[in-house]
Amino acid sequence: MGASISKGQALYLVVVALACVLAWKVAPSLTSSGSLSRPAPVDANVMPVPHAPPGSVLVNITMVGFDPAEIEAKAGQPMKLAFFRPNAANCAREVVFPDLGVRKELPPGQTVVVDITPLKTGPLVFECGMKMLKGKLIVR
């Protein structure tokens, strides 16, 4: 007797250990890779709508660019821009304010609110990450 275990017990332990490893290593990676590769659920029958908070300026992102492409602003006054990218049929995966060092991702179907404070008067450019779509604030 003592510390010795039978062949049957040893085999049982090996099987249990393998089952644990499978459940721990393989199963989660299967489920998580499945959910990671799947985009956020979007009901094809429901058009996404913008959710611009009160006081914000809604900026739609269409196939041709930002709409409106020119927005009035006041120097030194904080403002909220609500960027709404209804779908992925444009390249604006992100919006960039180069002069302010601001960069925000724009997931399709969502409204992303960007808080900015233009500091000096004149045009303040915003653009897509590839500098193809452009808009600007007219800061007075």
**Which residue ranges make up the site for Cu ion (CB under 5 A)?**
91, 128, 130, 132
> In DSSP terms, which residues pair with 95 in a beta bridge?
104, 128
Least distance in angstroms from the C-beta of 77 to Cu ion: 28
Query: With respect to Cu ion, which residue has the nearer C-beta, 103 or 140?
Result: 103
Indicate the helix (H) or strand (E) that contains 73.
strand 70-73
Q: Which of 36, 32, 94, 83 is nearest to 61 (CA)?
A: 83
Least distance in angstroms from the C-beta of 52 to Cu ion: 22
Q: What is the CA radius of gyration of the chain?
A: 26
Compute how many other C-beta atoms are within 10 angstroms of the C-beta atom of residue 74.
13
Query: With respect to Cu ion, which residue has the nearer C-beta, 30 or 63?
Result: 63
Query: With respect to Cu ion, which residue has the nearer C-beta, 109 or 139?
Result: 109
Least distance in angstroms from the C-beta of 138 to Cu ion: 22
Both tokens of 26, joined, read 């393989």
DSSP code for 41 = P
Query: With respect to Cu ion, which residue has the nearer C-beta, 79 or 90?
Result: 90
Say if residues 137 and 113 touch (Cβ distance below 8 Å): no
Least distance in angstroms from the C-beta of 127 to Cu ion: 8
